[in-house]
Structure 1
Amino acid sequence: MANIPLTRSQFLLPFVGILEEIGAPTSSLMEKFRLPPSMDTKSDLYVPLLPAIRFINTAQNSQDIEDFGFLASQRLHYSHLREKTRTLIAQSPTLLVALRHACNEASREDTVLSMWIEYDNEHVRVCSRLAGTSKLPHVEHAQWLQNIFSVYIVRQFAGPNWAPPVMAFEARYTPSIATQSSWPNVRFLAGQLASWITIPNSCLSLSNPSTELFSQPHAHEDGHSGYDIAAILKLMLPSYLDGRVPTLADVAEMAGVSARTFQRKLANVDLAYSDILDIVRFERSSSLLRDTDIKIIDVSFASGYSDPAHFSRAFRRISGVTPRQFREQSR
């Protein structure tokens, strides 16, 4: 079946901006590769990916620009990710959950982009690959952007100065000495099976310091949105954790809607009732593990689990570490 790989115009704008600033014939180059004009007014629209990559390569060669992808990545910000992706990351109780959301949403940024997480003993690799581009020259420009956005996601949890121990490129490319000096503690690798950055396992359980975890991006005409409901449940459910936790049917009745309507509102923002309950339980248990010395088995009961083994598995699924490891890392 015919397919046209697409990318969001947002990712082409930094390259266009650099070219316009140095006086390059940007418009004629874009026309040559059949890219649309007036890109700055179309940042959330999509353009064909392969012509965009060829445009960037030709512009780099004709203007003799070194490390074009790195220069473009300096102009990108976390806010350039899709609003939906940023909302899912903001909802995430830990960095690990946020990275999973980013992997699931990757194809909405570039339609042929795939992202996944590879686990090792002391770190994970967040990998990315653009299908069908391996034979194109200078794909490192796109791979810079892929890696940088992974870095930006980690920085939402680890702080604005965080940098990966290793950054790797699928392309056979090594950044210049000047570029490497901007990342003094990062080791660069070339010619890998995918582009990736490494993240220490100790970072995976970090929580998002943002206070706008369930901010509502748009108004809804049919009453409260899924974001509103999620925020309300996060306030209400902690008081039930040490007793009988309300079922989905219970909370739907409290809200005065059917269980199906309640589920649909949450599903509209990619949430399920069980997701919110997991977040609330994790926030309670992580607080107790970090701030008190009570036994882990008592933490599990206080967080609404009747089976300590179930608690340990659920905690590790969200944080990437066991409750005991989390407590040790937090001290």
Structure 2
Amino acid sequence: MHQTGYTRASTLGPIAGVVTAAGGSIERVFRRADLPLALLESPDALLPLRDHFRLLMVTSRELHDEVFAARLGRQTSMSGLGVFGRWVAQAPTLLEAIQRAGTSLPHMLQNATQLVVRRYDNDIHWSYELADPARDGRQQNEMLAIWYMIAVVRHFAGACWLPDRIVLADLPSRLRCPVGELMGTDTAIGNAASAIVFDRRLLTSVNPDLEQEDGLSASELGRIFDLPDPEDLPGRLSVLIELELLDRRPTLSRIGSRSGLARRTLQRRLGELGLSYSDLLRNALQRRAVRLLCQTDRSIGDIASMLGYDDPAHFSRAFERWSGVAPTRWRGLREPRARRP
């Protein structure tokens, strides 16, 4: 498969507002990137890193702004990263936060990625290192990632903190000054990984909000392992199917194209695992149906339409085959009972 990494839609940050404020069309950007606009309302949805890169590249071209992602990054925050952001922000010290970010990133937010800490005398180099081979839009992604790393340190060091130096891998020399102006600190061009550089004494900074944190719920902790392993073909295909379901009923041909596998190759490899495309589609429909029933008050008809069913009755019959009860009954069973006086 061509994609080796996935990321959550939340890593796009407030992209819609930034594009609109700059006079661009967010609808056109998503259409040109061949991604569903519904991603903006689905921050936990996964998408291939190569698609994430391409979306940033298309946006840069839409706005005629080669440093768009650095501009976008200035408006990002830890809170926008959902469960991952909360988990990191609850660490008692910056050192623990950086360790949490490094160990949990590939399981909770983005895989095919490493956050690596290296010490050089009194300097800490915290780098963002990618294994994904995609190139288009990669530079934009790294500008954005650097700002998220700055946001982690700012949670401990103060809202106005900036690193002593930023290193951006393979940054064209013509962009060094404009990127430096947006970053507000010295920006260097490196041949290795992109990184932020700061004084090692900051690592002992204590979390100012430590007493206010409530911890993560059991359901949030259950999300830690929901990114697919690079060798998990059914898991990787399921991500693509769920991404397509945000906009349309996915087809085998479409998923094959997105995965980089010929239709027959995809069917053969799934068959070797005792699975079929229909199995993966059914499972994805079940998961999305359950989420919509649990997390929204949409009507059964609306949910059926969102899942690609022409007739709500067809959806109801399918859901009953999956769960043993009709969707209206299932939703009723999930609602908490009124407390007795």
Unaligned runs of 5+ in 2: 222-341
Aligned 1:150-169 pairs, distance under 5 A: 150-169=149-168
What secondary structure sits across from 1:111 in the alignment? coil
Q: Supply the distance in 1 between the matched residues of 2:147 and 2:83 (Cα, whole angstroms).
A: 17
Instruction: State the match for 1:200 in structure 2.
Output: 199
Does 2:144 match 1:148? no
> What whole-Å deviation, never above 9, does each CA across 1:137-178 have from its counterpart, x for those lacking one?
442211122211211111122111211111011232354545
Provide the TM-score with structure 1 as the length reference: 0.58
Partner SS, residue 52 of structure 1: helix
- Spell out, residue by residue over 1:80-111, the C-alpha distance to the aligned partner (whole angstroms, 9 max, x if none): 2232442344133x211211111112223222
The whole-number CA distance in structure 2 between the counterparts of 1:114 and 1:43 is 21
1:26 counterpart = 2:26: yes
* Equivalent residues of 1:123, 1:201 under 8 A apart: yes
Query: How far does the alpha carbon of each residue in 1:231-290 deviate from its partner, in whole angstroms, 9 at most, with x for none?
Result: xxxxxxxxxxxxxxxxxxxxxxxxxxxxxxxxxxxxxxxxxxxxxxxxxxxxxxxxxxxx
1:59-78 aligned at under 5 Å gives the runs: 59-78=59-78
Aligned CA-pair RMSD: 2.7
CA distance in 2: counterparts of 1:193 and 1:176, whole angstroms: 16
**Aligned CA distance change for structure 1 residues 25 and 140 (closer, same or farther; 3 Å):** same
Matched position secondary structure for 2:166: strand
What residue in structure 1 maps to residue 190 of structure 2? 191
Measured at CA, do residues 13 and 181 of structure 1 come closer, stay the same or move farther in structure 2, by a change above 3 Å? Answer: closer
Which secondary structure does the structure 1 equivalent of 2:146 belong to?
A: helix
Separation (CA, whole Å) in 2 of partners of 1:2 and 1:178? 33
Within a 5 Å distance, the mapping from 1:143-292 to structure 2 comes to: 143-174=142-173, 175=175, 177-184=177-184, 186-212=185-211, 214-218=213-217
Identity rate, percent? 19
Letter in 1 for 2:138: V
Once the two structures are TM-superposed, the CA of residue 30 in structure 1 deviates from its matched residue by 2.0
Larger relative contact order, structure 1 or 2 (CA cutoff 8 Å, min sep 6): 2
Rate the CA distance shift 1:198–1:213 in 2: closer, same or farther, 3 A: farther
Partner secondary structure for residue 124 of structure 2: strand
**In proportion to residue count, which structure has more helix?**
2
Structure 1 residue 23 displacement after superposition: 4.4
Give the whole-Å Cα distance in 1 for the aligned partners of 2:95 and 2:123: 12
Instruction: Say if 2:70 and 2:182, in contact at 8 Å, map to a contact too.
Output: no
1:138–1:171 Cα contact (<8 Å) kept: no
1:179-220 CA distance string (max 9 Å, x none): 433444x22111331010112111111211114365134478
Matched letter for residue 206 of structure 1: S
Give the SS at the match of 1:18: helix
Q: Which residue number corresponds to residue 112 of structure 1?
A: 112
